[in-house]
Amino acid sequence: MAKILKKEILAPNIKKIIVEAPEVAKKAQPGQFVILRIDEKGERIPLTIGDFDREKGTLTIVFQEVGKSTYHLGLLNEGDEILDFVGPLGKPSEIEKFGTVCCIGGGVGTPEIYPVARALKEVGNYVISIIGARNKELVIMEKEMREVSDELYITTDDGTYGMKGFVTDALKKILDSGKKIDRVIAVGPVMMMKAVSELTKNYNIKTIVSLNAMMLDGTGMCGICRVEIGGETKFACVDGPEFDGHLVNYDLLMARLRTYLEEEKLSLKLFKEKMGIQ
């Protein structure tokens, strides 16, 4: 059981919860994830750790409501308990002094890149961050990201805030300005990570991405999270979730994420009907 201590709405359908989980918080490191199950009939879903406070014994999780489980999670309130909450899982991000690093967060990838950017900054990197969203309303954690970045760029698809375009447009601009970047870390939608990796490949910059594969147990048992990295099969839960972006088979990842599209739609439809959500 993990109690929700605080809940905040960051943007339409994007919510932040602070959860009491002292043992997970004690061990959590940037880049890792938890698996939770809301109730007895619930599914197990992986969610990246947004932040952690070892002293208070809390974890921050930011999530977007896309399917039944995340909508359900969004309906929980402060004081409610999540039935099962396990972690920290996966390998932590590589935190070293690389020189100049570019941290890219797209959508709910932003809260996930935040602790990574902070840790990279703490060990002495020059941190350039780019956060992207569809529109102004969906730009989240700007203040926090600014605090841990030497430079921060914001892009929106429709140009309602920051630069109009995608995170790759901002990244290309930075690269073409002649700035030397030693490493890129990108977290966000698969399409975004794919586009970032394609771009940085031309510039020969090591790029790390965090793969949001489906998971069940999260400890290497089931193999649903298998991804292809340089033609080799890896399990995102134990070998990742972070991998070399230039080696990822993104098309396979996207196809695998669509396995249960119909079931997910049905599940969400039934839940919305039951709860009276539009």
Partner 1 sequence: MAIIPKKTPMREQPPKERIKNFNEVPLGYTPEEAINEAKRCLQCKKPPCVKGCPVEIDIPGFIEKIREGNFKEAIRILKDKNSLPAICGRVCPQEDQCEKECVLGKKYEPVGIGRLERFAADWEAEQGIMEIPKIEKSTGKKVAVVGSGPAGLTCASELAKMGHEVVIFEALHKPGGVLVYGIPEFRLPKIIVEREVNYIKALGVKIICNFVVGKTKTVDELLEEFDAVFVGTGAGLPWFMNIPGENYTGIYSANEYLIRVNLMKAYLFPEYDTPIVRGKNVAVIGGGNVAMDAARTALRLGAEKSMIIYRRSKNEMPARIEEIERAEEEGVIFHFLTLPVRYYADENGKVKEMECIRMELGEPDHSGRRKPIPIPNSNFKIPVDTVVVAIGQSPNPLIPQTTKGIEVGKHGNIIIDEKTGKTTKKGVFAGGDIATGAATVILAMGAGKVAARAIDEYIKTGIW
58 touches 206 (CB < 8 A)? no
CB of 58 vs partner 1, minimal distance in Å? 16
Question: Residue 261 and residue 250: Cα distance in Å, rounded?
Answer: 17
CB of 175 vs partner 1, minimal distance in Å? 32
CA nearest 26: which of 60, 63, 61, 53? Answer: 53
Question: Residue 83 and residue 40: Cα distance in Å, rounded?
Answer: 8
Amino acid type, 78: E
SS3 state of residue 9: strand
CB of 120 vs partner 1, minimal distance in Å? 23
SS3 state of residue 246: coil
Query: Smaller CB distance to partner 1: residue 44 or 173?
Result: 44
Query: Smaller CB distance to partner 1: residue 73 or 138?
Result: 73
Q: Which of residues 102-141 bind partner 1 (CB under 8 A)?
A: none
Residues 147, 153, 156, 162, CA torsion sign:
positive
Pattern 54-83, partner 1, x by CB under 8 A: --------------xx-------------x
Interface size with partner 1, residues (CB under 8 A): 41
Site residues (CB under 8 A) for partner 1?
23-24, 27, 37, 41-44, 68-69, 83-89, 216-217, 219-224, 226, 228, 233, 238, 251-252, 255-256, 258-260, 263-264, 266-267, 270
